Amino acid sequence: MVEANRSLYLRARAVGGCQYPVGSIPTTPEEWRTHYGPAWADFEAARERYDPDGILTPGQGVFPPGP
């Protein structure tokens, strides 16, 4: 079902759709950047300031895993 959900998400995205970002569809860091669009730089800066160790929601795949 996860694969089917991902397939539907990719089809929706191809025609301009989006998804609620917390769900059962695996999302890549690049897709997160697309999701946040122009706000990505501010979002990334806030993450670096308030979560420098990357402990908040690591399972969402927003940022690539650290070393």
- Token readout for 3 is 């694969």
- pLDDT digits 0-9 by tens, 21-42: 666 778 888 888 988 999 999 9
Distance between CA atoms of residues 10 and 42, nearest Å? 26
Q: Lowest mean pLDDT: which of 6-15, 19-28, 31-40, 55-64?
A: 19-28
How confident is the model at residue 47, as a pLDDT? 93
Secondary structure letter of residue 67 according to DSSP: -
How confident is the model at residue 51, as a pLDDT? 93
Distance between CA atoms of residues 45 and 48, nearest Å? 5
Averaged over 11-30, what is the pLDDT?
82
Task: Measure CA 1 to chain center.
Answer: 19
- Cα 25–Cα 62–Cα 3 angle in degrees, nearest 5: 20
